[in-house]
Chain A
Amino acid sequence: MKVSIEVNGKKEEHDVEDRTLLVFFLRETLGLTGTNIGCDTTNCGACTVIMNGESVKSCTVLAAQADGQKVLTIEGLGTSQDDMHPMQEAFRQNHALQCGYCTPGMVMAAVSLVHDNPNITEAEVREGLEGNLCRCTGYHNIVKAVLAAAGSGGGDL
């Protein structure tokens, strides 16, 4: 089927199989490999992107369901040191990543969380990121980064 999805502000029209998952549309059809696949079973959050302003796990959304919608990936936030989103900058400043595998999904989930709740508390950050697993950091610095970004544009879309 033909789908037309606005990805990072650019309209992308492609013919895909009906069963194509959004994450494969992003990674394979568009070559946007910033969005990672971790568990592929909707548990780890590595594949999190923002659809119509809300975090979703792109391994569990069909490209057909995203047809006509707006999708934001980590590439849409910033791809170089000079144009980082405040949430990316806060992750860097707070040493909120080690191997970095969970980071794109973690950042997208965090942006959505802060977007919905700019005055977020530490407990709300911890609960709100329960759908994103990190095997390296122990989460403390991630929580610190999200709280730091909350006051400085971390939820801007």
Chain B
Amino acid sequence: MIPAAFDYVRVDSVDAAVAALTEHGDDAKLLAGGHSLLPLMKLRLAFPSVLIDIGRIEGLSYVRQEGDQVAIGALTRHCDVNASPELARHAPLLAYVAGKVGDPQVRHRGTIGGSIAHADPASDLPAAVLALGGEMVVTGPSGQRVIPATEFFTGFLETAMSPEEMLTEIRVPTATAGHSYQKFVRRAQDWAMVGVAVARYDGTTGVSLVNMGPTPLRAAAVESALASGASAADAAEVADQDSEPTGDANASPEFRRHLAKVLTRRALEEAGL
């Protein structure tokens, strides 16, 4: 399969990427690792007329501890997030989850920025950043702004970024008080049928759900049950509250709701609750 024809533009800076997005408007798409976009283009489900390759912008692949946060450059690949000693030390949930994405070949190409900007509710990393209460740094024609993860995912494959903006950095709080990621799959290499991420930090517990609605979801009912002293098993019983799982060839909505509860209990217990 061959994508529809497009013009390939390679940029070497964030400013050039933003300028190209501004110039080409809706016809253009950024290309990072290409492991969500190229498959869609090959299936002709996406057909941008201009591809702006940001993959070679220098200085956007890094993991840095900054005070009580860890900053991750948008072009950091899944394999590098997975292997990062800073993340293993300061935000181990993220390192672990990155190692659960796809397979080694996918992790050698896909980037954390691409995964989060793509905002697929079945993706692993957006849910991890949401459970961690992270934030996204985006750069546009009028400079930088910071969007909390809780406001970033606005709809199915939709985010709070405007079309001329680029995601440049992801920040998560240091979170070392316990974590877990439960990814339910039936076959090797599959996407999560349902997933649950838990991160404990600053005396709070963040819980988020994969594939339980049109966006990655924060399990607010579980979080408030825990905050008011519920046990892990009791809190897990409300895991599907306010979710809208769909049915597909892999699972019915009812089965997804059931999985969310079971996986939430397992995740909370693994995180030490």
Contact = CB atoms under 8 A, between A and B. Distances in A.
A19 B4 CA distance: 7
B249 interface: no
Given A41-B39, A60-B39, A18 B189 contact: no
Nearest to A52: B108
Interface string A108-122: 010011000000000
B34 A61 contact: yes
A1 B6 CA distance: 12
B244 interface: no
A42 B2 contact: no
Given A19-B3, A19-B5, A62 B108 contact: no
Nearest to A39: B1
Contacts of B102: 131
Interface string A42-66: 1101001001001111011110110
Interface in A1-15: 1
A59 B79 CA distance: 19
A141 B262 CA distance: 36
Interface string B82-123: 000000000000000000001111101100000000000000
A18 B5 contact: yes
Contact of A65 (B5, B34, B79): B34
Contact of A42 (B6, B31, B39, B55): B39
A95 to B, nearest CB: 22
A33 to B, nearest CB: 17
A95 B34 CA distance: 35
Contacts of B1: 40-41
B40 to A, nearest CB: 11
B42 interface: yes
Interface string B17-42: 00000000000000100110011001
Contact of A113 (B6, B7, B31, B104): B104
Interface residues of B, number: 29
A69 to B, nearest CB: 10
A64 B188 contact: no
A55 B34 contact: no
B35 A42 contact: yes
A128 interface: yes
A48 B51 CA distance: 24
A128 B10 CA distance: 32
Which of B34, B38, B79, B105 has the most CB atoms of chain A within a 10 A radius of its CB?
B105
Contacts of A109: 104-105
Given A65-B55, A131-B189, A60 B8 contact: no
B53 interface: yes
Contacts of A64: 8, 10, 53
B8 A62 contact: yes
Given A18-B5, A55-B105, A128-B104, A60 B34 contact: yes
Given A18-B5, A21-B2, A40-B1, A60 B35 contact: yes
Contacts of A130: 103-104, 188-189
Contacts of B8: 1, 18-19, 62, 64
Interface of B: 1-8, 10, 31, 34-35, 38-39, 42-43, 51, 53, 55, 79, 102-106, 108-109, 188-189
Given A60-B35, A61-B34, A131-B104, 16 more contacts: A1-B8, A18-B5, A21-B42, A41-B1, A43-B189, A45-B103, A55-B104, A57-B106, A60-B38, A62-B31, A62-B38, A64-B8, A64-B10, A113-B104, A127-B188, A131-B106
7 contacts: A1-B8, A42-B39, A42-B106, A54-B79, A56-B105, A61-B38, A131-B103
What are the 4 A-B residue pairs with the smallest beta carbon separation, nearest first? A131-B103, A18-B8, A130-B188, A54-B108
Interface of A: 1, 17-19, 21, 24, 40-43, 45, 48, 51, 54-57, 59-62, 64-65, 109, 112-113, 127-128, 130-132
